[in-house]
Chains A and B, each alone.
Chain A
Amino acid sequence: MKKLAAGVGGAIVAALLGGPPPVSAVGQQAGFYDVDREVKIEGPVQDVRLEPRFENTQPFVVVKVEDKATGRTYTVEIAPAWFFDQDIHRGERLAVVGSLVSKAEASPVVMAREVQCRGETIRVRDRKGFPNWRGGAMRQGKRKRGPIT
C-alpha cells in the first residue's frame, strides 16, 4: 500500500524535479471548457472549416454561426473531424450549447458541448467539458434525438 502511494507520489516528484524533460503538453492557443461560461446559440451556419486547435491532435471542425437572438457571429469549435462525422453545410441551422472561451468582440469563440443539427443532438463533451472522443462517449452515448440540454 505504502509502496503504491510512494510510487504514485514518487513518479510525480521525479517528473517535476529531476525527471526527463516534459513532452509537449496540450497547448493554450485554444481555451479550456469553462463551466461558468456556458452559453446557448442558435442560427445559420456561415462558414465551415477544419482548423488545428490543440497540439498533437487532429484538426477540429470549426463553424461560424450567426446567433439569431443577438445577431452576433460566433466561432464554434466542435470536435476533431474524425469524431464529428456530420456533414454541415452553409446556411444550415445549428443549435449549440458550449462554453464561451473568448469574449473577443470581433469573433467570440464557443467550445461546443452539444450540437443539434437536423433534429439530432450530438454530445461532444460531458458537462464538465471532458471530450467524448477521449473515452467519454463510451459511457454517455454520442447521439440522441430531442432538444439539447
Chain B
Amino acid sequence: MKPRRPLLFFLLPYGGVLLVFFAVASFNRAFIQERAESLVKEQLSASAEILKAGVRDLLEKNVPPQGILRGYAGAEEIYFMAVLDERLEILDWSSRFEGYLPFSRKDLPREEAWIIDSPAGRIYSVFKPLRTAEGKSYSLYLGISLRGLEDMLARSRRNQGFLFGILALAGLALFGGVFRLHRQSLARAEEAVVEREEKERLREISGFTAGIAHEIKNPLNSLALLNELMAKKAAPELAEHLALARDEIRKIAGIIDAFSSASKPLTLRRQSVRLAELVQGVRSSLLADAERKNVEILVDGKGDVQVEADRDLLTQALFNVVRNAVEATDRGWIRIRISRKRKGGVIQVEDTGRGIPDELAARLFEPFVSSKPQGLGVGLYLARKILTAHEGTIAAAPRPGGGAVMTLEIPGGPS
C-alpha cells in the first residue's frame, strides 16, 4: 500500500462515520429538544391555570385587584405577571427586572402561548382571560422563564460537542498510530529488501574471492617454495632481490588471507573475556608501529569489565580498528577507553588523526571501502562483521578538534 492510501482507506471512512454520528446525534437532540419544549410548555400552561384559579379566587373574595400579585411574586421562574381589566388596562403588575413588562395592547388578546426572547433568556408568555362569579372579566398576563430548559439544552449541546471532539481525537490518534506503524513496516520491508540484495551481492563477492583465493593460493605456494629453493642456491648478490620477492609473495598471501577471512562465515567460541587484557594485547601488537610514527597509545577506563565473547575474533576486530587509527594518525595520540554499559562493555578508540572523509562516512563499514590508497577496505568491514556476530555494534564519529572516535559495544557480560 502506498503511503497515501491509508488516508483514503482509514481517514475518509472514519470521517464519514463521524459525520453520520454527528448527523444522527443532531437529529436526535433536535427531537428531544422539541419534545422537552412541548412538555415544559404543557407544564407551564398547567401552572398558569393554577395561578389563574388562585387569582380568580382572590378576586371573588373581594381582594382589590391592586396589590393582588404581591403574594405571588416570590417564584424565581416567574419573570413578570400582570392583572388586566376588560379594557386591557393594567390593574396590578410585578416584574423581576425594573420596569420590564413586555406588553402591547396591539398584540392582545392572544389565545396561544408565545415565546419572548429577552437578554435574560427565553420567556414563556401566556395571556389568560378569567371571569369571576360576579361576572367581572379580567385577564392574567404571565411570563415564565425557560432558563432551566435552556440550561439543559445548552448542556446537551456541550456534551455532544465534547463527545464528538473526544471521538475525533481518539480516531485521529488511532489512525495516526496505524498510519505510522504502516509506514514503519514499509520502511522495514524496504530495508529488508536492500539488506537481502546486499547479502546476495556479498555472497557473490565472497564466492568469487574465495574462488580466486583458492586458485591463487596453490601457484603462490609453489612460487614461495621455488623462491626459497632459489634463495638457497642462488649467488649471494641475488639474495637481496630474492628476499624482496619473498616479502612480496607474503604480502600477496596476506591479502588473500584477508579476503578469505572477510568472506568466511563466522563461528563464535564464546568465553569470558576481560576487556582490559584484550586491549593491552592489541596495544602491544601495534605499539612498535605507533612509536615509529611518534604516536602514543593510551589506555584508560575500568579494568574489570568482562564480556562473553570469542576472544580471537574480538581481538581481531579491535586490532583492525586500532590499526586503522594508527595508520590515520601522523602525530598525537590514540586513547582506548573501556567502560561498562548495562551488562556489556564498551571500547572507545579515539585518535587525533585525519578523521573520516565525508564521502566515506556513510559507507565506512562496507567491504572494499578505504580512504588509504593501498588499503583493501576489509579491516573495518571485518570488525563490523565480528561485532554483529556478537550482537554488538560499531559506530564511527568525528572527534571534536580533529580525528575520529570509534565505539565498539559488546553486549552480554558473564552472568
Across the interface, which residues of A come within 8 angstroms of B224, CB to CB?
none
A2 contacts B by Cβ under 8 Å? yes
A146 contacts B by Cβ under 8 Å? no
Contact, CB under 8 Å: B32 / A1: yes
Contact, CB under 8 Å: A33 / B100: yes
B374 contacts A by Cβ under 8 Å? no
- Complex interface bits, B39-50 against A, C-beta within 8 A gives 1, otherwise 0: 110111011001
Docked CA distance A140–B118 (Å): 11
Contact, CB under 8 Å: B76 / A4: no
A70 contacts B by Cβ under 8 Å? no
Contact, CB under 8 Å: B43 / A26: no
B282 contacts A by Cβ under 8 Å? no
- Complex interface bits, B15-54 against A, C-beta within 8 A gives 1, otherwise 0: 0000000000000000010011001101110110011001
Classify chain A's interface size: 35 or more
Contact, CB under 8 Å: A26 / B102: no
Q: Which B234-251 residues have C-beta < 8 A from chain A? A: none
Across the interface, which residues of B come within 8 angstroms of A12, CB to CB?
44, 47, 51, 75, 77-78, 144
Docked CA distance A58–B277 (Å): 96
Contact, CB under 8 Å: B120 / A135: yes
A30 contacts B by Cβ under 8 Å? yes
Contact, CB under 8 Å: B100 / A25: no
Select A35's contact among B50, B102, B119, beta carbons within 8 Å: B102
Docked CA distance A9–B145 (Å): 11
Docked CA distance A20–B76 (Å): 12
Contact, CB under 8 Å: A5 / B40: yes
Across the interface, which residues of A come within 8 angstroms of B39, CB to CB?
1-2, 4-5
**Which residue of chain B lies nearest to A54 when distances are taken between CB atoms in the complex?**
B98
Select B149's contact among A8, A22, A101, beta carbons within 8 Å: A8
Select A128's contact among B71, B96, B116, B152, beta carbons within 8 Å: B116
**Which residue of chain A lies nearest to B33 when distances are taken between CB atoms in the complex?**
A1
**Which residue of chain A lies nearest to B102 when distances are taken between CB atoms in the complex?**
A128
Classify chain B's interface size: 35 or more
Contact, CB under 8 Å: A134 / B97: yes
Across the interface, which residues of B come within 8 angstroms of A1, CB to CB?
32, 35-36, 39
Binds A, one of B103-111, B171-179, B333-341, B399-407: B103-111
A15 contacts B by Cβ under 8 Å? yes
Given contacts A9-B44, A28-B93, contact A16 B75 (CB under 8 A): yes
**Which residue of chain A lies nearest to B47 when distances are taken between CB atoms in the complex?**
A12
Given contacts A12-B144, A26-B94, A139-B119, contact A4 B36 (CB under 8 A): yes
Residues of A within 8 A of B (CB): 1-2, 4-13, 15-17, 19-26, 28, 30-36, 53-54, 57, 77, 101, 111, 125-126, 128-132, 134-136, 138-140
Residues of B within 8 A of A (CB): 32, 35-36, 39-40, 42-44, 46-47, 50-51, 54, 67, 69-78, 90, 92-106, 116, 118-120, 144, 148-149, 152
Given contacts A16-B47, A22-B75, A57-B98, 14 further A-B contacts (CB under 8 A): A4-B39, A5-B43, A8-B43, A8-B44, A8-B77, A9-B46, A12-B78, A17-B54, A25-B69, A26-B98, A28-B94, A30-B99, A131-B97, A140-B119
